[in-house]
């Protein structure tokens, strides 16, 4: 983030603007260098301008900050793996989480000139899954079979439209019809 702030200030400002939208209780990412010389990432509160060190911020806020940082890197890594990307965040932020995933995977759609990132995200959140309903080719259902695992792209199901109907994708997955849920539940 130091590099982002120092070498790409317009991206760092955009990250801070988006941070305020996602987490309105904070208005800026700042850095503190105590006497020990170790840099600390801090979030400044919108009300009162108090600095809160990252170690004292909620897990959901840290995940949001990490995702926003990835989204605004000028040269993101070629592969990003996210386990439960919406974990500990308010459900209303899930659409923003999805948008960060799309921003990484399809940068040209967001006016970026960097290479696309392959994003692998795992979730057990039916609400997050719902947000990908219109793009079943982007969903792979993983199912444990004894000591092995089976992976199936959702778009390969010939009966997908019939199964989904007007239902929410997350509800259909949660029911077990699509697989990917523990046996016996």
Question: What is the secondary structure of the chain as a DSSP string?
Answer: -HHHHHH-HHHHHHHHHHHHHH-TTEEEEEEE--TT---EEEEEETTT--EEEGGGS-HHHHHHHHHHHHHH-SS--SEEEEESTTTTS-GGGHHHHHHHHHHHH-GGGGT--SPP-EEEEE---HHHHHTTTT-GGG-EEEEEETTEEEEEEGGG-TTHHHHHTTS-HHHHHHHTTTS-S-TT-
- Going from N- to C-terminal start, the domains of the chain cover 1-123
- CATH topology for 1-123? Rossmann fold (3.40.50)
pLDDT in tens, 105-134: 999 999 999 999 999 999 999 999 999 999
- Using the 8-state DSSP alphabet, how is residue 84 labeled? S
The whole model's pTM is what?
Answer: 0.90
pLDDT in tens, 131-144: 999 999 999 999 99
SS3 107: helix
Overall average pLDDT of the 149-159 stretch = 96
At 183 the pLDDT is 76
């Amino acid at each position: 983030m130091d590099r982002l702030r120092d070498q790409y200030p317009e991206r760092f400002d955009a990250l801070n603007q988006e941070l305020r939208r996602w987490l309105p209780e904070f208005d800026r990412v700042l850095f503190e260098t105590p006497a020990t010389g170790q840099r600390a990432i801090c979030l400044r509160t919108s009300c009162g301008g108090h600095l809160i060190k990252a170690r004292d911020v909620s897990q959901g806020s840290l995940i949001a900050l990490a995702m926003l940082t990835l989204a605004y890197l000028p040269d993101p890594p070629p592969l990003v793996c996210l386990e439960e990307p919406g974990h500990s965040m308010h459900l209303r932020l899930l659409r923003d989480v999805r948008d960060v995933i799309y921003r990484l995977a399809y940068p040209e759609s967001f006016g970026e000139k960097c290479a696309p990132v392959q994003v692998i995200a795992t979730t057990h959140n039916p609400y997050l899954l719902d947000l990908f309903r219109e793009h079943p080719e982007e969903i792979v259902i993983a199912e444990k079979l004894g000591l092995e695992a089976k992976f199936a792209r959702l778009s390969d199901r010939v009966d997908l439209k019939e199964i989904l109907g007007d239902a929410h994708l997350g509800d259909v997955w949660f029911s077990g019809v699509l697989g990917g849920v523990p046996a016996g539940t």
